[in-house]
């Protein structure tokens, strides 16, 4: 990654505990310059996740615009993940009150303006359904050259998690995902293949409480809450899905990746939302994304802890 100039980012998501932790990682990295936060309905309704965006911005002292995006997918009904993320979409920790009003611009208008005004191409980190990103690509196709990369958490090339075939973010708006994968912009795909390996265990996140800063304490509380439903499902820890979409940018050396062609299926009782990979190049299509397939879990957790340490506080407890 070029470290001479800060890399402009747009954070687009539906926080959501793992979205919020991904944004902690982005805010902690001095190589990134977060230009805007845009909310999309997904883990909870747009009203709830938009408010979460403003509170996360306050927690991280981000003096940037937060804009509301789409309330529903492009053509489908909205599914939410309240069973996992709680009534607010970000239960488990008391967050500071928002410091700024919402942007007067819609998410798509704000994203377009950031792209238009940026001297350097912008990375969009999309950790919810790709609805806002697809709407941007449809409304402003001339701005595609200003997009350096879209890094998403979404899909699964071997399995799903909301159905046997489909992952939650993709299934929520398959049409939006299809538009993104066929738009001709670079895509970095962090799907379940890697994110289900990005596990943090209770003893590891207890370390965060010894850092004695509000961000670390908040992340630990988020993990406490997020672990409740996952434990019921048999997981021993928490799968940090969305943070992969940030750390794969900042620390690609801890990941394994493959350039491949991925398509999104839009119909079928069992296949809607499936992300299909042409593993052996039999379709004749050129690769349209870089899929992240594996990671060094211990280094991944260490990077999260170090990111939280960077927000200040005392030494860890002995």
Task: Give the residue numbers annotated as catalytic, written as ranges.
Answer: 241
- How many CB atoms are located within 10 Å of the residue 302 CB? 14
User: Is the CB of residue 103 less than 8 Å from the CB of residue 64?
Assistant: no
281: left (phi over 0), alpha (psi -120 to 50) or beta: left
Q: Please say whether the dihedral angle defined by the alpha carbons of residues 126, 132, 134 and 140, taken in this order, is positive or negative.
A: negative
Q: Taking Cα atoms as reference points, which of 66, 61, 70 lies closest to residue 102?
A: 66
């Amino acid at each position: 990654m070029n470290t001479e100039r800060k890399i402009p980012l747009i954070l687009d998501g539906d926080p959501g505990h793992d979205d919020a932790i991904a944004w902690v990682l982005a805010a902690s990295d001095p190589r990134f310059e977060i230009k805007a936060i845009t909310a999309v309905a997904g883990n909870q309704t747009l009203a709830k996740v938009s408010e979460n965006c403003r509170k996360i911005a306050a927690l991280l002292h981000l003096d940037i615009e937060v804009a509301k995006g789409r309330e529903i997918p492009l053509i489908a009904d909205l599914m939410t993940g309240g069973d996992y993320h709680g009534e607010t979409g970000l239960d488990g920790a008391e967050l500071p009150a928002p410091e700024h009003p919402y942007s007067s611009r819609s998410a798509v208008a704000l994203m377009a303006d950031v792209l238009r005004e940026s001297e350097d191409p912008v990375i969009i980190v999309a950790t919810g359904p790709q609805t806002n990103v697809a709407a941007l690509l449809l409304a402003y196709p001339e701005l595609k050259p200003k997009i350096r990369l879209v890094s998403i958490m979404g899909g699964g090339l071997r399995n799903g998690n909301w159905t046997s075939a489909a992952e939650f973010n993709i299934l929520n708006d398959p049409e939006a995902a299809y538009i993104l994968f066929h738009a001709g912009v670079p895509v970095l795909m962090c799907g379940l293949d890697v994110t289900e390996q990005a596990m943090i265990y209770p003893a590891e996140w207890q370390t965060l409480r010894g850092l004695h800063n509000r961000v670390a304490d908040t992340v630990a509380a988020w993990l406490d809450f997020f672990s409740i439903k996952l434990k019921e499902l048999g997981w021993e820890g928490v799968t940090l899905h969305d943070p992969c979409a940030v750390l794969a940018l900042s620390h690609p050396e801890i990941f394994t990746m493959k350039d491949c062609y991925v398509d999104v299926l839009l119909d079928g009782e069992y296949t809607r939302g499936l992300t299909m990979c042409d593993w052996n190049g039999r379709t004749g299509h050129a690769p349209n994304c870089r899929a992240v397939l594996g990671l060094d879990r211990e280094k991944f957790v260490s990077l999260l802890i170090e990111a939280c340490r960077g927000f200040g506080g005392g030494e860890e407890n002995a």
